[in-house]
Amino acid sequence: MSLRITPLTDPAHGAHSRRLAWLASDADANPVGTAFLRLFDGGQAHLAELTVHVHPVERRQGVGSRLLDTAVAAARDNTRRCVVAQAGAGSPGDHFLPARGFRKVLTLRYSRLPLADVDIPSLAGIIERPHSGYRLASWQGTVPDDLAQTFADSRRAMDDMPMEDTDHGTTTWDVDRVRAAAKAVEQRGDHLHTVVAIDTSNGSIAGFTELVVPGGGTGDAQHYGTGVLPEHRGHGLGRWMKAESIRHAHGHYPDLGGLLTDTADSNTHMRHISDSLGYLPTHTTLQYQLDL
């Protein structure tokens, strides 16, 4: 196939990353595939995240390989040491990536909680059981000013999340970054709801869980992250916060279908929490990494 790769100007630059984009087109200028390469900063400045899409009719004609080569060259030019990409288990990408030198580094298990099946009295029992030394709090959208700094500090709870063999690095959070993340959700029309566990001895946040609900309040919401600081683990805070998040979604979004979550296969503790709350497995995604 006669193929042309055209760099695109991508407007989806974040405050802490930027994205490169390319369009593949055939001899008649018909688009046949795209590639996007996200370049992170801070503690992930070594990392690039790749997404390649090829029209099903145009596969096995070298389109994906050309886009991949272009993106990998750009990653090298931007001094990245690795490129990661995800593919559904058994999908074309699951066969394509290892054939191009990528190695599997992470297995993500996805699950869904149908809100129509939620046992509210049972959920209330989990939420209302006292957790000595802690209380729950929540907010919609951007974190309140009085909790902004401790919320930013609590984000280090994710630093040691199981990532198997991924060269993931760490994300550095400050108040500006947590506010920018909430603003990004708001600007695309969705709703961010955060539940936190607060240490009553000093008012600091010990853990958090975030849920993003589609703007129309229909379809499925997505859990963005649940984390408990190492010094506060072992008190059941993760399950407690997640149960409150479920109750909020059930009570405030009657047309919402369900809640989606993804967890590393090796994160058995968080997978157990989701299982205990009624989440059901849906599919598996594999993360691949190419070391440059």
Query: Interhelix angle for 268-276 vs 237-252, to 10°?
Result: 40
Count of C-beta atoms within a 10 Å radius of residue 264: 18
| pLDDT at residue number 14 | 66
Q: In what order do the strands lie in the sheet with 31-40?
A: 4-8, 17-25, 31-40, 47-54, 82-88, 280-291, 103-114, 256-264, 219-228, 204-213, 191-199, 134-140
As a whole number of angstroms, the distance between CA 121 and CA 226 comes to 23
Query: Interhelix angle for 237-252 vs 120-128, to 10°?
Result: 140
- Partners of 111 in the beta sheet? 261, 281
Band of residue 17 on the pLDDT scale cut at 50, 70, 90: confident
Report the share of the chain in percent with pLDDT over 90: 86
E strand segments, 157-228: 191-199, 204-213, 219-228
Query: In this structure, what are the phi and psi dihedrals at residue 21, rounded to the nearest 5 degrees?
Result: -145, 150
Band of residue 152 on the pLDDT scale cut at 50, 70, 90: very high
The H-assigned helical ranges of the chain are 63-77, 92-99, 120-128, 148-154, 175-187, 237-252, 268-276
Q: Check: CB of residue 83 under 8 Å from CB of residue 73.
A: no
Fill in the amino acid letter for 232. Answer: H
Each residue of 178-200: pLDDT tens digit?
999 999 999 999 999 999 999 99
Q: Which residue has the tokens 């191009």?
A: 100
Each residue of 223-256: pLDDT tens digit?
998 999 999 999 999 999 999 999 999 999 999 9
Instruction: Please tell me whether residue 172 adopts helix, strand or coil conformation.
Output: coil
